[in-house]
Amino acid sequence: MIRWAHYLLLRLFRHFPRRVRLFIVHRITPSYTVGAICAVERADGALLLVRHSYRRHWGLPGGLLRRGEDMRDAARREALEEVSLDIELLGEPTVVVDPDAGRVDVIFRARPCPDADLAKVGPASPEIVEAAWFRSDALPELQHEASEALLSLARARRGEVRRPPAATG
Q: For the chain, which domains are there? A: 32-158 (3.90.79.10)
CA distance 79 to 2: 50
State residue 152's pLDDT score: 93
State residue 168's pLDDT score: 52
State residue 23's pLDDT score: 84
Alpha-helical regions (H) of the chain: 2-13, 18-28, 71-83, 144-158
State residue 163's pLDDT score: 56
Q: Using 50, 70 and 90 to split pLDDT, how confident is the model at 166?
A: low
Query: In this structure, are strands 62-64 and 33-40 parallel, antiparallel, or unpaired?
Result: antiparallel
Contact 63, 74 (CB under 8 A): yes
Q: Report CA Rg, the chain.
A: 20
Report field, pTM of the whole predicted structure over 0.85: no
Q: Using 50, 70 and 90 to split pLDDT, how confident is the model at 157?
A: confident
How many angstroms separate the Cα of 143 from the Cα of each of 52, 68, 94?
Answer: 10, 27, 18
CA distance 46 to 53: 23
Give residue-wise pLDDT tens across range 33-65: 999 999 999 999 999 999 999 999 999 999 999
Taking the CB of residue 88, how many other CB atoms lie within 10 A of it?
14
CA distance 1 to 81: 55
CA distance 141 to 104: 22
Work out the average pLDDT over 3-11: 77
Q: Using 50, 70 and 90 to split pLDDT, how confident is the model at 100?
A: confident
Give residue-wise pLDDT tens across range 76-94: 999 999 999 999 999 999 9
